[in-house]
Amino acid sequence: MRTSRPFGKISFGQDRIFWLIIAGLFVVYAVAQGGLVNLGLTLLGLVLAITVHECAHAWTADRLGDPTARYLGRVSLNPLVHLDPLGSVMMLVTAITGVGIGWGKPVPVSPHRLKYGSRLGNGLVSLSGPVSNLLLALVLGLILRFMTFLPGWLFVALFSIATVNIVIAMFNLIPVPPLDGFGVLMGLLSLPRGKWAWNLSQGLGRLQQMGPMLLIGLLILTQFLGIPVLGWLIGPPIRFFQQVILGF
């Protein structure tokens, strides 16, 4: 997920109070619930997934001709460069309750600078995030398959992190703005030369402002009303990639 607004670098020094509060909440909950390991693995998976995801967006945009993210230090695997304070709080809430969604700082992209045209170029930048998560899951899956001598705790940790990355990839490919799937869809619609593709892309563009509300609606239906819309959309591909990558 990206925006044209510029973002500067963040550091622990700048946000020390915020990160100390987050760490405090983490420790208090873990001690109270006795779930330090599971909570830690979920958070680690989310942080790694978002870091790799946003770094891939920045790297791809730079390779396609827009150096904005690189100038802002976003072509980096340093989590502090990519973590958004509110998104990090939501990651903690999600890890604790199983309800919610976390996010990182959107990568700034100027679509008009990208090769292959603004829509196709932006579609490639959008696709790079989910692909990076699947590639990370694939690397971890290969380790799990071939290093059978791994201790049980490490197997569980790698499996959990890989699963989180698969889920993040599939969720982001839902074609609803501001998720990456919408950018991918608009990029695909730039390929056909027919009038129908142009009309469809223009209609979808007009619905873009409603995207966040549609996304919130999906979350409400799934997590609060018990209608598993998200499960219908991303459950099958998640299970497919778990089987292919992890063998489960």
The answer to whether residue 20 scores a pLDDT higher than 90 is: no
Identify the pLDDT of residue 117: 87
Q: In the predicted model, what is the mean pLDDT of the chain?
A: 82
Identify the pLDDT of residue 134: 97
8 Å CB contact between 57 and 109: yes
Identify the pLDDT of residue 145: 87
Segments of the chain assigned E as strands: 2-3, 107-108
Q: How far is CA 179 from CA 14, 46, 235, in A?
A: 28, 16, 17
Once rounded to an integer, what is the mean pLDDT over residues 120-145? 95
- DSSP 3-state of 75: coil
The answer to whether residue 180 scores a pLDDT higher than 80 is: yes
> Among this protein's residues, is 54 annotated catalytic?
yes
**In the structure encoding, which two tokens stand for residue 22, read together?**
């987050």
Q: Which of 184, 79, 84, 83 is nearest to 130 (CA)?
A: 184
* Out of 90-94, 97-101, 147-151, 202-206, least confident range: 97-101
The active-site residue out of 42, 50, 52, 54 is 54
Query: What is the pLDDT confidence band of residue 6, given thresholds at 50, 70 and 90?
Result: very low
The answer to whether residue 59 scores a pLDDT higher than 60 is: yes
Query: What is the pLDDT confidence band of residue 75, given thresholds at 50, 70 and 90?
Result: very high
Identify the pLDDT of residue 9: 43
Q: How far apart are CA 123 and CA 55, in angstroms?
A: 16
Q: How far apart are CA 162 and CA 137, in angstroms?
A: 4
